[in-house]
Amino acid sequence: MRKYVVILMVLLVLPGILFADIFAKTGTAGLQFLKIGVGARALGMGEAYTAVTNDISSIYWNPAGLALKSQDQIMFSHTAWIAGINYEFVAFSKVTSLGTFGVSTALLHMDYMDVTEEEIFGPTGETFTCYDFMAGLTYSNEFTDKFSFGASIKYVREKLDEFDVNGIAVDIGSLYNTGWHNVTIGMAIKNFGPDLEYEIDDDGDGSLNEDPFDLIDNDADGLIDEDRDEFPFKIPMGFSLGIAMDLYARDNQLLLASIQLDNCVDREETYNIGMEYKIGVFKIRSGYQLNYDETSYSAGFGWTIPTSFAIFNIDYSYTDMGDLAESFLKSPQRLSLKMSF
């Protein structure tokens, strides 16, 4: 048991080391799609989910939770984000004698947009689009009946018109159940990886990110120093610490509550509070996200449908983002489907 306590202590101390010289720098991290949560259950609880997660959505929230299900699972999640942006997430997990393995992929996409130029101050008649993509592999194991640990490695890509960037990120997490009222402590570090840099060929000579001070006409068109120096940027690495417990459990009813602290490199600490009430196969949820520019409120519901083929979980959530959304219908709406078999 001592080694598990050591791992917990490392996970608790490591974020302090990682963030020691970092203060909130809004707008300084790229690949912001990595901060968009998946699964309507988690979002309905205000993202206070690091200590709650115990299914395939753990791949995103805390990979340690993936080991807590004894069944194989498939998940499909759709998010209608603000400004006409859509986000899709698909995952599959397999239970083996060595632990639980999971694969996942995510895509953020949007409609085509007009190309505009400063000189004519208007559209040129051309269009462009952009997208973000993630593909990951997760491993998780339940080392005792109280402690589980998991890790993910992810390939990430962002494409903006003809510009793109690619990189690798890692997630690690742990869950510890105290055994008292199902009180569980969850910790996760997400999106740990090197700084990234866009690959841009300004002069079209086939070489990327050339030295802008080499005084060489690289493409032999009579001009020099056409490439500019591309500056690296951080990915949104974050640390989450959560505590969840059963406030009430009797017969087919369960009231679950969770609180969570989030620390990310490009913002101040935020706090999440969430609750879920379950009666039979039906669940209702609500949650708050605090210390944002505006307090964000979430709500949702879920329905479990057991069949001879699989157990289906259908979940829906809504997030009120205040002035960022024009109306209820244009606020983030999420729908997810999980199958256990």
Cβ-Cβ contacts under 8 Å for 210 (sequence gap 6 or more): 203, 218, 227
> Could you tell me the two tokens for 151?
């890790």
| Residue 209 counted as domain residue | no
| Residue 39 counted as domain residue | yes
| Residue 222 counted as domain residue | no
* pLDDT of 28: 74
| Residue 216 counted as domain residue | no
Residue 163 phi, psi dihedral angles, 5° rounding: -100, 145
The residues that bridge with 219 in the sheet, in sequence order, are none
Contact 103, 136 (CB under 8 A): yes
* pLDDT of 9: 47
| Residue 210 counted as domain residue | no
Q: Which residues of the chain have pLDDT under 50?
A: 4-13, 15-23
| Residue 227 counted as domain residue | no
* pLDDT of 44: 95
* pLDDT of 271: 94
CATH of the domain at 168: 2.40.160.60
Cβ-Cβ contacts under 8 Å for 100 (sequence gap 6 or more): 66, 67, 69, 93, 94, 139, 140, 141
What global pTM score does this model have?
0.84
Determine the structural domain holding residue 289 and report its residue range.
2-197+232-340
* pLDDT of 266: 85
* pLDDT of 96: 96
* pLDDT of 160: 85
| Residue 269 counted as domain residue | yes
Quick one: which of 109, 180, 181, 93 has its CA closest to 141?
93
| Residue 129 counted as domain residue | yes
Q: Where are the alpha helices (DSSP H) in the chain?
A: 2-18, 40-44, 58-61
3-state secondary structure string across 204-262: CCCCCCCCCCCCCCCCCCCCCCCCCCCCCEECCCEEEEEEEEEEEEECCEEEEEEEEEE
Domains in the chain: how many in total?
Answer: 1
